Amino acid sequence: MRFAVEAWDPSYGASVESELNESAAEVVLDVERPVQSWHPIDPDPSVRPPAAVLFVDGVRRVDAQVWVEEQEGQASPALCASYAAGAVCCCRDGAHLLPPEVRRGLFSTAPEADDIATGAGTYQAQRTDERSGVAPGQVLSSALQRALADTEFAAATAARGGHLAPEHPGADGDLDDLLVLDGSLRGRQHLPRTIGYVKTHHSNYLPPQLAAVIATLGAGQRTPVFRIEAPWRRHTWYLRLPCRPGAPWAGVVRVECSAELPAADVVTLASRSQVTLGRFASAEYKDSRAPQNLYPIAGLERELRRRLGDPNLLYRALRRAAVREREAQPVAVA
């Protein structure tokens, strides 16, 4: 019996679902070349890596599940969470962290929700609407994810803003940079010179005869560019990072960019991704999600999690704040 062991740590789930969901999205397959000419594309030797690569990512953590009292005997569930986003710039000066953004929020559907001040920081109230047929926990988790996405967008914008000196290759106005957002590009696809980096696969967007091309990719090779029309439009392609031979999808990532770009610009971005991303691919003995978990993203995640603060300290601070609020409430006298 022949078999292959994937390097991806199973505690993170699977990098590729055992059965990919067949996507119902309309797909345009001939963006770069006709369907009959689909085959693995080698890196273009004339394409040079950008002078600066900016990696953006975010992390989130629920510090406590709480209840917000609405009236006597009634309360609504809520989440107290910490989340952060930041960027790492890899350029001629090496790899360096740009100033990250750390936030804390109280996510609730209760109109009475208000900021919670603790000795370890303030959880700003962020009210969200209830959704019919959706569990409260899912509503709150989605609200937290939206807040994290907004913070990642702010980090991505700041990465090309005032944090860099004018002569820096990643500074605003310098076109020789590439912004890599960990995860889907949705909601941020208008950012210039930007790609989304998708490590895990849940859906199959290609017909069987073209999906078979993915399994034949060598290290550094990619599929031709195609376009997904729904539920939101974007150009995309599959790329295999350097890795040991193994399962058909080992080391395969999907890269996205804006659907509004001309085809020639999209192909340029795809070619740049080939000569750029593989340089940062992780090794099995250093990372349990190798090679897809790129070194700058892994390092950024560790630093952001550290900056979220000690979860035990924050939990105790929330408990003390809850007691303080109760003691401050006037006692009704009959």
Ranges of the chain with pLDDT below 50: 170, 333-334
Dihedral, CA atoms, 101, 292, 53, 274, nearest 10 degrees? -150
CA pair distance 95, 204, nearest whole angstrom: 35
**pLDDT of 29:** 95
**pLDDT of 4:** 54
Closest to 105 (Cα-Cα) out of 64, 134, 135: 64
**pLDDT of 115:** 94
What is the 8-class DSSP label of residue 183? B
Q: Please, what's the b/e burial string for 305-329 (b: 16 or more CB within 10 A of its CB; e: otherwise)?
A: eeebbeeeebeebbeebeeeeeeee
CA pair distance 261, 256, nearest whole angstrom: 12
Residue type, 166: P
**pLDDT of 159:** 87
**pLDDT of 330:** 62
**pLDDT of 164:** 54
Backbone angles phi, psi at 67, to 5 degrees: -125, 130
Q: Which residue's entry shows tokens 């309360």? A: 75
Interval 215-260: pLDDT, tens = 999 999 999 999 999 888 999 999 999 988 878 888 999 999 999 9
CA pair distance 107, 319, nearest whole angstrom: 17
Q: Is the dihedral of CA 194, 195, 197, 203 positive or negative?
A: positive
Q: DSSP string covering 286-306, please?
A: T-TTTTTS-HHHHHHHHHHHH
Q: DSSP string covering 225-242, please?
A: PEEE-SSS-EEEEEEEPS
Q: DSSP string covering 35-75, please?
A: GGG---BPPPTT----SEEEEEEEEEEEEEEEEEEEETTEE
**pLDDT of 122:** 96
Closest to 300 (Cα-Cα) out of 133, 109, 89: 89
Q: DSSP string covering 155-177, please?
A: HHHHHTTTTS-TTSTTSTT--SE
